[in-house]
Amino acid sequence: MMAALMSITGPTYGPAASGAPRQLVVLLHGYGSDGHDLLGLAPHWAQMLPRAEFISPNAPFPCELAPYGRQWFGFEGRDAQMILGEVQTAAAILNGFIDEQLAKRSLDESALALVGFSQGTMMSLHVALRRQRPAAAVVGYSGRLIAPDLLPQEIKSRPRILLVHGDADPVVPFQSLREAVNVLELVGVEVTAERRPRLAHAIDEEGLELGGHFLVGAFASGA
């Protein structure tokens, strides 16, 4: 009931070119942040994707540990099953948001990409793999798969995926990258993995370039 009643909003950017957007890139921020944080990727990628609109929704819940931030789900005092329950609640809210935004722009999933950082990557993967129709792409930075053991039974879509992770990440261990790739390949998802040497929990310039080029290629292949 909570998911059905809640809606989320966030800042937008673009398209850089005139006219209606032809692609929609949904940017999902990490734990304790908000939509304005990840929207900082948009001005760079808009040069590569001039007909794309970027939207960065604020996560639905106040962050437990950051007084002005937001969270998609909590970690404190929760076991894996409780976390999964909160992920599923947030996923229902996010799916409703995506459906609304696509309809508002008269676009379908072939024009959709999800981009996440950290907890936003976890949400991007969870949602995109379970939507009825595949998005063009998912780009995930410094994240991991939630409940990977459930994916073989729950997967409905197989979008193209790029995962980028720093090997010095102290927040989400770098080994999460290989664990995610193993499961995704097992269920037949086309996934590209990029290791960023000596990078902590962040997106660097090379990762930004990799993500932009991946989105361009994914949208072009679906055109």
Secondary structure of residue 57 in the 3-state scheme:
coil
Please list the active-site residues: 118, 169, 201
Q: For the chain, give percent helix, strand, coil, nearest 5.
A: 40, 20, 40
For residue 55, what are its two tokens? Answer: 């939207």
Q: Do residues 45 and 27 make contact, with C-beta atoms less than 8 angstroms apart? A: no
Q: Do residues 152 and 186 make contact, with C-beta atoms less than 8 angstroms apart? A: yes
CA atoms within 13 A on the CB side of 208: 15
How many CB atoms are located within 10 Å of the residue 154 CB? 11
Q: Do residues 171 and 146 make contact, with C-beta atoms less than 8 angstroms apart? A: no
Q: How far apart are CA 135 and CA 139, in angstroms?
A: 11
